[in-house]
Structure 1
Amino acid sequence: MPDNKKRPPSLSTAAAEQGRDQRRVTMKDVAKRAGVSQPTVSFVLNDRRDVSVADETRARVLQAAKDLNFHPNRAARALRSNKSYTVAVIANRIVSQPYAGQIVLGVQQAVQPAGYVCFVVETSETPDAVDAAVHNLIAQGVAGLIYAAPGPEPIHAAVTEADVRTIFVNCWADNAKDAPQILADEYQGGRDAAAATFAAGHRRVVYLGGPADDYACKERERGLTDAARDAGIDPASVRREHGDYHVHSGYDLALRALSEDRPTALICGNDRMAVGALMATHAAGLDCPGDVSIVGFDDQPDIADQLHPPLTTVALPHLQMGLTAGELLLADAEPQGTRLIPCTYVPRGSLAAPKDRS
Structure 2
Amino acid sequence: MRDQAVDRDSGATARTGRPRMVDVARLAGVSQATVSFVLNDRADIPVAAATRQRILDAAEQLGYRLNRAAQELKLARSTTVGVVSYGIASHPFAGRTLLGIQNAARARGYVCMVVDVGDEPDHGADADAVASLLDRVVAGLIFASPGTLAVQTPTLDPGVRTAFSSCWPVDPAGAGDVRAVILPDERQGGNAAAAAVFDAGHRDVLFLGGTPREWATVERERGLDDAARAAGIDPASIPRVYGDYSARSGYRLAAEAFDRRRYTAVVCGNDLMALGALLLLHERGLRIPDDVSLVGYDDQEALAAELHPPLTTVALPHYEMGALALDALLDDEPLGRLAVTCPPVERASVATPRA
Question: Same fold, TM exceeding 0.5?
Answer: yes
1:282 equivalenced with 2:295 (yes/no): no
Task: Report the AA paired with residue 209 of structure 2.
Answer: G
**Aligned position for 1:7:** none
Task: Report the AA paired with residue 237 of structure 1.
Answer: S
RMSD across aligned positions (CA):
2.4
SS of the aligned residue for 1:354 comes to coil
1:355 equivalenced with 2:351 (yes/no): no
Aligned pairs (5 A) from 1:248-259 = 248-259=248-259
Q: TM-score, normalised by structure 2?
A: 0.88
1:117 equivalenced with 2:116 (yes/no): no
Shift of residue 160 of structure 1? 2.1
**Aligned position for 2:242:** 242
1:172 equivalenced with 2:168 (yes/no): yes
Change (3 A) 1:130 1:282: same
**Aligned position for 1:9:** none
**Aligned position for 2:10:** none
Bigger radius of gyration:
1
Task: Report the AA paired with residue 160 of structure 1.
Answer: L
Task: Report the AA paired with residue 83 of structure 1.
Answer: R
Task: Report the AA paired with residue 326 of structure 1.
Answer: L
SS of the aligned residue for 1:83 comes to coil
Query: What is the alpha-carbon distance in structure 1 between the residues aligned to residue 117 and residue 59 of structure 2?
Result: 41
**Mapped contact 1:30–1:61 kept (Cα < 8 A):** no
**Count of equivalent residues:** 339
Task: Summarize deviations over 1:101-134 as a string: whole Å, max 9, x none.
Answer: 1100110011112222111101141001100110
Shift of residue 45 of structure 1? 3.4
Task: Report the AA paired with residue 272 of structure 1.
Answer: L
Shift of residue 42 of structure 1? 2.8
Q: Give aligned-pair identity as a percent.
A: 48
**Mapped contact 1:228–1:234 kept (Cα < 8 A):** yes
Query: What is the alpha-carbon distance in structure 2 between the residues aligned to residue 265 and residue 225 of structure 1?
Result: 16
Shift of residue 303 of structure 1? 1.0
Task: Report the AA paired with residue 19 of structure 2.
Answer: V
Moved more, 185-194 or 72-81: 72-81
Query: What is the alpha-carbon distance in structure 1 between the residues aligned to residue 113 and residue 80 of structure 2?
Result: 7
**Aligned position for 1:6:** none
Task: Report the AA paired with residue 266 of structure 1.
Answer: V
Q: TM-score, normalised by structure 1?
A: 0.88
Task: Summarize deviations over 1:31-62 as a string: whole Å, max 9, x none.
Answer: 44555543344344334456xx4444x76255
Task: Summarize deviations over 1:188-222 as a string: whole Å, max 9, x none.
Answer: 11111111110111000011101220111111111
Shift of residue 17 of structure 1? 7.7
Query: What is the alpha-carbon distance in structure 2 between the residues aligned to residue 181 and residue 329 of structure 1?
Result: 10
Query: What is the alpha-carbon distance in structure 1 between the residues aligned to residue 168 and residue 4 of structure 2?
Result: 55
Aligned pairs (5 A) from 1:271-310 = 271-310=271-310
Q: Please, which of 90, 98, 104 is the counterpart of residue 96 of structure 1? A: 90
Task: Report the AA paired with residue 317 of structure 1.
Answer: P
Aligned pairs (5 A) from 1:325-336 = 325-331=325-331, 333-336=332-335
Query: What is the alpha-carbon distance in structure 2 between the residues aligned to residue 17 and residue 126 of structure 1?
Result: 57
Query: What is the alpha-carbon distance in structure 2 between the residues aligned to residue 91 and residue 49 of structure 1?
Result: 33
Task: Summarize deviations over 1:79-113 as a string: whole Å, max 9, x none.
Answer: 22232221111011111111111100110011112
Change (3 A) 1:38 1:16: closer
**Aligned position for 1:201:** 201
